[in-house]
Every structure is written in structure tokens, then in C-alpha cells.
Structure 1
Amino acid sequence: MDYSIRVIRADEWEQVRELRLAALRDPVAAIAFLETYEDALGRPDSFWQDRARGGSDSGPGVVRQFVAETADGRWAGTVTVLVERPTDEVRFGEAAKVDQTHLVGVYVRPEARGAGVIDALFRAAVEWSWTLPEPAIARVRLYVHEDNARAAAFYRRFGFVATGTTVPMPGDSGKRELEYELPRP
């Protein structure tokens, strides 16, 4: 099946909500996301509307949500890119020491896995990161739960390397999130 990769539109909040809820029902959601299905389900429409607006091309430019879309309009996967500058408030992990982007919310529907969707989403997210205006983005980073071997294997295959930085898993300080980075070429 063919997929096109694009940034979401501000009016697509219902699709944003549906895909996020699907992701949070995935068997690895507990180690892949910092939110539960129940919490997300309880959020009002205004939350999803704001989320879609913020991740769209018409948003403020510090967040972009990319989706893989089938020819019939079904969303098969997503990744969100957060722009992090050294002067920004810390969202997760350590404060940015350089201008960077942070990939979050990575999800591909089970029926689309193995079809190159995740590769295409990551290419779009990384390419967008490198096109941001000055100051130039020095690296793209992400975190992966220490038990999420499937995701970590993909990140390494794509070119990300472990930085050695770890942070406690929110809600389970006995587990760690591992930071990976892709330095600017």
C-alpha cells in the first residue's frame, strides 16, 4: 500500500484524537507513551483541537505532527517533532544544551508495520528539523524505554546512537528511558 507523508492540518483534531487513542491501546503503550488511554479518552474536544492546531503548518512552528496517510485518507502512523532551544523550559529529560528537535508520539498501526511507514515518517521529521531557520538544529533526539527493544532497534537502524544519558521513567523510577540522538550531518 502507498502512503503519503504530510503535516497535519489544524481542522483534523478528530483524526489526531483517534490515532492517539489507537496508539494508547497498543500492547506496548505502557512503555512507549507517558499517557494512558483512560487519561486521553477523558480529555475534552478543546484539548484535541489545540493539539491539532499546535502541530499543524498553521501552528507556531515549535511543534509539527507528521502522519502517514493512505490513498483513501486513513492515517497509518505518526511522529511529532518538538523544537527545543537552550532557553526553553524542559519538557522531558535534560535541558537542551544545543538547538535540537525531539521526536515523540511515534506510532504505526499494526497493519502498516513492515511497509516502510516508520522510515518515511522519520525521514520527514528529520528533514524538517534540518530546514528550521537559524540557529540551526544541531541534533535530533528521542527517548526510548529500556524494555522497548523493537523501537530501539529501529532507531539504531535509522542512524540514532545512544548518548548514555538516561532518565527515570515517569511513574516507575525503577525503569529508565534512554536518550538517542542523530547529530546534524
Structure 2
Amino acid sequence: MNQHAVRPVAAGEWEKAKELRLSALRDPAAPVAFLENIVEAEAQPDEFWQGRTAGASSGRAARQFVAEAPGGAWDGSVTVRVEEGGTIDFFGEVVEKSQGHLVGVFVRPEQRGTGLTEALFAAALEWAWSLDGPALGRVRLFVHEDNARAEAFYRRFGFVASGRIVVGTPSDAEARELEYVLERPEAGR
């Protein structure tokens, strides 16, 4: 049974957030899982990590959720970024209606298959669906076409391929990222 506490990150926890992100970027799946690489991340000053963590700890723009073990170690994370209607998204497209965008999904290898990813996603979606003014109509994520393990999890969790494919990432001009979406539950509208 999983004993982790899944909770939002606090602004002052930047050192733990940094360590977990660097671990994620060292994972063998990192090249198909993240748009950032370990060399870029390790070069960032502490102020970058402090700002990143503070920005994901409060307000509406983003929220990072972590899975904390009983001893205090962080074993996983996911972040929800809010893309407001009428703004331009990461890929240069206009966002029609306010939506969530899940990024930075990571669970340490020894915790995979324990239900930790499901718990992180449940917390992230609960927060996303709780937002008012305007409510989020859907949550999306992108998955590299070669990341079959992640793609299978997203489908099991209820995400559906939208058919949108983005070609090219900062590290690979030929990479194909597939969009998956989860519509807001009707009861929450």
C-alpha cells in the first residue's frame, strides 16, 4: 500500500523541487519525456529554482504536486499549468477556452507501478477542476510518440488522443508530440 502524501509544493521547498527535477532529467526516458535537458537544468542558478517553485505553489497560473514519502523524500511530481482562453500557448497557438496543461510528470523508477502516478494525477485534476473564473473545460498533455509507457498510462487514466500532433521540440526538430485531452466531467460544470 502506498504511504505517500500527495500535496502541493510550498514556495520554500525549491531545493527538493530542484533535486527531483534533476533526477527526472537523468532518467533514461528523459529525452522523450521532457523538453528540458539535464545540462540546461544544472546550469540554472538557485534564483531560477526559487522562482519556479514559488510560481507553482500558489495562485491560478500553475500548481505543482509532489508525492512525499513518510521519511520526507519526494518520489514523484506533476505540474498543472493553466492556459487562459485568448492567450498563446507554448506551441504558438491561440488557446480558445481556458484549460489545464499537465507537464513535468515524473515518478522515481522504484515507485512506478505502485499507484503513485495515479495519486498525483488525481490531485492535479482535483485542483484543476476546482478553479473558478473561468472554469477549465479540459486538461491536456503531450506525449512523445516514442514514449509508449506514458501514453498507455494516460489512456488508462481516461485521456483521449485529440489527433493534434506537434512536430519539433527544442532538442529534436523531427520529434512528434501527441496531444491527449481529458474533458471536464459534466458534474463539475
TM-score range, shorter chain: over 0.9
> Which residue is 2:32 aligned to?
31
- Secondary structure, counterpart of 1:123 in structure 2: helix
CA distance in 1, matches of 2:30, 2:129: 29
Alignment of 1:12-91 (within 5 A): 12-57=13-58, 60-91=59-90
Deviation at 1:74, TM superposition (A): 0.5
Alignment of 1:114-153 (within 5 A): 114-153=113-152
Residues 31-54 of structure 1: per-residue CA shift (max 9 Å, x gap): 100111011000000000001100
TM-score where L is the length of structure 1: 0.95
Deviation at 1:93, TM superposition (A): 6.3
Alignment of 1:157-176 (within 5 A): 157-170=156-169, 171-176=171-176
Residues 124-170 of structure 1: per-residue CA shift (max 9 Å, x gap): 11111100012111000000000000000000000000000010131
The percentage of counterpart residues that share the same residue type is: 56
CA RMSD, 1 decimal = 1.1
**Alignment check: 8 A CA contact 1:93 1:167 kept:** no
> Which residue is 1:95 aligned to?
94
Flag structure 2 segments of 5+ consecutive residues without an equivalent: none
Flag structure 1 segments of 5+ consecutive residues without an equivalent: none
Residues 13-64 of structure 1: per-residue CA shift (max 9 Å, x gap): 000100000000000100100111011000000000001100113xx32110
Deviation at 1:90, TM superposition (A): 1.8
Report whether the alignment pairs 1:154 with 2:153: yes
Change (3 A) 1:93 1:19: farther
- Secondary structure, counterpart of 1:92 in structure 2: coil
- Secondary structure, counterpart of 2:31 in structure 1: helix
Report whether the alignment pairs 1:5 with 2:6: yes
CA distance in 2, matches of 1:49, 1:172: 28
CA distance in 2, matches of 1:148, 1:173: 17
Deviation at 1:122, TM superposition (A): 0.3
CA distance in 1, matches of 2:88, 2:161: 23
Change (3 A) 1:16 1:92: farther
> Which residue is 2:106 aligned to?
107
Work out the number of aligned pairs and report it.
183
CA distance in 1, matches of 2:155, 2:176: 18
- Secondary structure, counterpart of 1:19 in structure 2: helix
> Which residue is 1:182 aligned to?
182
